[in-house]
């Protein structure tokens, strides 16, 4: 816990009917119960509370609460005394279970009004000095995401907190798919905002991501269609209020899918850098991805579930079961460039957590590489012998640029993946029996290692490509055309007229279906920032929450 430093205020104030010694430094607001000194320093740490100034939401001056006045002399005298006193209330972040944050309050009663005003003024001054906090936000709400609760969640749980913290907003409720993306690309006057907030699921986040990255590249004269371009990082942070079906990006960066927790991370101005994969097909841009790029099982689950949108989040369970039973595998060639000179492997026991040293180390290494790239153009041109190739039949090809933790798999698809290390974990699940695939899937929900199976391999990579096997020329087609060939063309050679695996799956790109199967994927280290701080370690939680150590 941070040392208090020079005191800006120190007074004896009351919390309810108890006297406390209250102090304010640049980093901490502390209140300690007044008890006899012999007892005070030895035990009862619960008598001392402390809140980081960076986690104070607001402070307001108010009349001291009082019981009803019955007109008696004693009550009149009490009221006269009370008129001279004033209270101020501090709202701050309180940590609950499972990474949840709540807004707690404490009211301090001051002996006179001028002391109260000095306290309020000092705290406001410290809050104003926190330059990372957003003042004006652009908010997009998808009213149709998840259980269609986006509007209600924002109005009831988020807007009151923003108002309390003095954060002003421009709110746009989207009217059609890609409304937010297109507004950000061309119309939004971004200079006036300190961040963009999306209320919805991973698909809605994807819209904001695409709008912001595209706008940034155009403003900086970078060609987003070239897979070789070093993209310009986005300056505006993105906040996610979870109101979708999976909400994996929120869960993996905050540790929980809770709108109040996310709103508080936005208010305190957290910042979490994040890698972004660009996905190209034949040198033309398709999409960006920050979480899962999945071909085979997860691609099929997504395409099937799109037809069941009316079911809400339960569509994934039904499509998941259906695709598990269907047991399709797909043939193709995966080539990848192993990430070099980095810390960490996909089989590490360590996890990406708040203030992750792996992300810091690798992020710096990539920044230096970026600078070198400018000086020496040959630095980034990968020679052919660095590429590795795997051909085969796959049930699933997954690239997890972060853990992809979500309520379905709290440890994630790749539990040791990092949010901001410039790499993605390429997971290849080869054709195996249904029983073995079930073992692999179930391990996502238990302590067992889902990679410790003979038919699964995982590589930490900075770039990869996939080409489906069937008729190489098909891979140049877009999916609808390829599907047509599949339906009307001859059935595959290896499996004559048995109704077995189709030639093509589709890619699930952060919950959006890609319409090409042959893709070229490159990781861009720390291209965007979220209003988040990564998942906090439990030990940090214990230290930061009051009571404080004396």
Question: Which residues form the interface with Ca ion (CB under 5 A)?
Answer: 275, 401, 418, 421
d(C-alpha 345, C-alpha 326), whole Å:
33
Q: Please check whether residue 295 is in contact with residue 330, taking contact to mean a CB–CB distance below 8 angstroms.
A: yes
3-state SS class at 332: strand
Instruction: Give the count of residues interacting with ligand LXC25N3T (CB under 6 A).
Output: 27
d(CA 40, CA 34): 8
Residue 450 lies near ligand ADP (rule: CB under 6 A): no
Q: Does 144 bind ligand ADP (CB under 6 A)?
A: yes
Residue 258 near ligand LXC25N3T by CB under 6 A = no
Largest CA distance in the chain: 100
Q: How many residues bind ligand ADP (CB under 6 A)?
A: 22
458-497 footprint of ligand LXC25N3T as x/- string (CB under 6 A): ----------------------------------------
Q: Which residue in the set 211, 224, 239, 244 belongs to the binding site for ligand ADP (CB under 6 A)?
A: 244
Considering the complex, state which of residue 30 and residue 245 has its C-beta at the smaller distance from ligand ADP: 245
Q: Could you give the string, one character per residue 499-528, with x where binding to ligand ADP holds by CB under 6 A and - elsewhere? A: ------------xx----------------
Neighbours of 48 (CB within 10 A): 18
Count Cβ neighbours within 10 Å for each residue of 151-184 and write b for 16 or more, e otherwise.
eebbeebbbebbeebebebebeebeeeebbbbbb
Phi and psi (nearest 5°) for 89? -115, 130
Which residues does residue 106 pair with via DSSP β-bridges, in sequence order?
90
CB of 8 to ligand LXC25N3T, least distance (A): 44
- The residue among 408, 401, 406 whose CA lies nearest residue 441 is 408
Q: Which does 144 bind (CB under 5 to 8 A by kind): Ca ion, ligand LXC25N3T, ligand ADP, none?
A: ligand ADP
* Cβ proximity of 388 and 335 under 8 Å: yes
- Is 257 a binding residue for ligand ADP by CB under 6 A? The answer is no
Binding mask 374-413 for ligand LXC25N3T (x = CB under 6 A): ------------------------------x-x-xx---x
Residue 269 vs 320, nearer CB to ligand LXC25N3T:
320
Question: Which are the contacts of 169, defined by CB distance < 8 A and separation ≥ 6?
Answer: 136, 137, 138, 139, 159, 162, 197
Output the smallest distance, CB 272 to Ca ion, in A. Answer: 12
Tell me how far apart the alpha carbons of residues 418 and 467 are, in angstroms, rounded to a whole number.
26
302 binds, among ligand ADP, ligand LXC25N3T, Ca ion, none (CB under 5 to 8 A by kind): ligand LXC25N3T
Helices (H), 95-221: 113-128, 150-153, 159-164, 179-182, 202-219
Could you identify the residue written with the tokens 């619960």? Answer: 46
The token pair at 131 is 């330059």
Site track for ligand ADP across 198-227, x = CB under 6 A:
--xxxxx--x--------------------
CB of 141 to ligand ADP, least distance (A): 8
Which one, 30 or 409, has the nearer CB to ligand LXC25N3T?
A: 409
User: Which C-beta is closer to ligand ADP: that of 165 or that of 212?
Assistant: 212
* Residue 185 touches ligand ADP, criterion: CB under 6 A: no
Q: Which of 30, 54, 142, 217 binds ligand ADP (CB under 6 A)?
A: 142
The residue (of 298 and 504) whose beta carbon lies closer to ligand LXC25N3T is 298
Contact status: 194 vs ligand LXC25N3T (CB under 6 A): no
Q: How far is CA 192 from CA 130, 195, 254, in A?
A: 18, 9, 26
Measuring CA to CA, which residue among 386, 462, 426, 385 is closest to residue 230? 462
Looking at the Cβ atoms of 313 and 338, the one nearer to ligand LXC25N3T is 313
Is residue 106 within 8 Å of 31, Cβ to Cβ? yes
Smallest gap from Cβ 282 to ligand LXC25N3T, in A, equals: 25
Instruction: Provide the strand spans (E) within 282-338.
Output: 284-289, 292-296, 330-338
C-alpha R_g of the chain: 27
What angle, 0 to 180 degrees and rounded to 10, lies between the N-to-C axes of helices 315-326 and 434-442? 150
Q: Which does 207 bind (CB under 5 to 8 A by kind): ligand LXC25N3T, Ca ion, ligand ADP, none?
A: ligand ADP
Among 194, 202, 421, 510, the active-site one is: 202
104 forms beta bridges with 92
d(CA 524, CA 528): 9
Least distance between ligand ADP and beta carbon 151 (Å): 11
Q: Give least dist CB 352 to Ca ion, A.
A: 8
Per CB under 6 A, does 261 bind ligand ADP? no
| Closest C-alpha to 233, from 246, 219, 244, 247 | 219
Partner that binds at residue 175, options ligand LXC25N3T, Ca ion, ligand ADP, none, CB closer than 5 to 8 Å by kind = ligand ADP
Binding range to ligand LXC25N3T, per CB under 6 A, among 10-18, 98-106, 199-207, 352-360: 199-207
Say whether 494 is catalytic.
no
**Residue 547: cis peptide before it, omega within 30 degrees of 0:** yes
Helix (H) or strand (E) holding 539: helix 538-544
Q: In the complex with Ca ion, which residue's Cβ is closer, 238 or 479? A: 238
Residue 174 is a binding residue for ligand LXC25N3T (CB under 6 A) = no
The verdict on 302 binding ligand LXC25N3T (CB under 6 A) reads: yes
Query: Where in the sequence numbering do the catalytic residues fall?
Result: 202
Residues lying near ligand LXC25N3T in the complex (CB under 6 A) are found at 201-203, 244-248, 291-292, 298, 301-302, 316, 320, 404, 406, 408-409, 413, 441-442, 444-445, 508, 510-511
List residues binding ligand ADP (CB under 6 A): 142-146, 174-179, 200-204, 207, 244-246, 511-512
């Amino acid at each position: 816990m941070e040392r208090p430093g020079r005191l800006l205020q120190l007074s004896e104030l009351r919390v309810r009917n108890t006297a406390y010694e209250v102090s304010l430094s640049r980093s901490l607001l502390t209140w300690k119960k007044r008890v006899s000194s012999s007892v005070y320093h030895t035990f009862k740490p619960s008598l001392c509370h402390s809140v980081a100034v960076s986690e104070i939401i607001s402070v307001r001056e108010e009349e001291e609460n009082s019981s009803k006045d019955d007109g008696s002399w004693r009550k009149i005298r009490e009221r006269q005394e009370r008129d001279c006193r004033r209270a101020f209330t501090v709202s701050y972040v309180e940590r609950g279970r499972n990474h949840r944050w709540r807004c707690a309050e404490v009211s301090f009663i001051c002996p006179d009004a001028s002391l109260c005003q000095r306290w309020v003024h000092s705290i406001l001054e410290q809050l104003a000095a926190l330059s990372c906090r957003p003042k004006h936000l652009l908010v997009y709400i998808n009213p149709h995401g998840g259980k269609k609760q986006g509007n209600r969640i924002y109005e009831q749980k988020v807007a009151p907190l923003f108002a309390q913290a003095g954060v002003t907003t421009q709110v746009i409720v989207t009217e059609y798919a890609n409304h937010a993306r297109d507004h950000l690309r061309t119309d939004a006057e971004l200079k006036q905002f300190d961040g963009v907030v999306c209320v919805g699921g991973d698909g809605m986040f994807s819209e904001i991501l695409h709008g912001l990255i595209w706008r940034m590249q155009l403003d900086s004269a970078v060609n987003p269609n070239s897979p070789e371009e070093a993209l310009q990082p986005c300056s505006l942070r993105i906040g996610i209020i979870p109101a979708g079906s999976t909400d994996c990006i929120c869960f993996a960066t905050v540790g929980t899918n809770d709108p109040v927790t996310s709103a508080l991370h936005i208010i305190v101005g957290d910042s979490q850098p994040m890698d972004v994969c660009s996905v190209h097909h034949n040198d033309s841009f398709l999409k960006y991805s920050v979480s899962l790029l999945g071909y085979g099982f997860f691609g099929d689950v997504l395409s099937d579930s799109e037809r069941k949108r009316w079911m809400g989040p339960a569509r994934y369970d039904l499509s998941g079961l259906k695709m598990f039973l269907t047991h399709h595998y797909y043939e193709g060639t995966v080539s990848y460039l192993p990430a070099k000179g980095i810390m960490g492997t996909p089989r590490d026991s360590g996890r990406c957590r708040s203030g992750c040293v792996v992300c810091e180390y690798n992020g710096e290494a990539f920044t230096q590489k970026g600078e070198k790239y400018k000086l020496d153009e040959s630095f980034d041109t990968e020679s052919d012998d660095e590429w590795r190739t795997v051909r085969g039949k796959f049930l699933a090809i997954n690239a997890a640029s972060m853990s992809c933790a979500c309520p379905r798999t709290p440890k994630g698809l790749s539990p040791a993946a990092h949010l901001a290390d410039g790499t993605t974990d390429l997971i290849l699940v080869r054709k195996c029996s249904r029983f073995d695939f079930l073992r692999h899937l179930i391990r996502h929900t238990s302590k067992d290692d889902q990679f410790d199976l003979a038919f699964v391999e995982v590589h930490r990579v900075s770039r990869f490509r996939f080409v489906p096997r069937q008729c190489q020329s098909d891979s140049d087609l877009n999916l609808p055309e390829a599907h047509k060939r599949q339906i009307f063309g001859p059935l595959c050679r290896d499996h004559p007229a048995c109704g077995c695996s189709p030639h093509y799956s589709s890619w699930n790109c952060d919950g959006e279906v890609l319409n090409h199967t042959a893709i070229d994927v490159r990781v861009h280290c720390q291209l965007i920032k979220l209003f988040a701080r990564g998942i906090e370690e439990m030990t940090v939680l214990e230290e930061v929450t009051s009571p404080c150590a004396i």
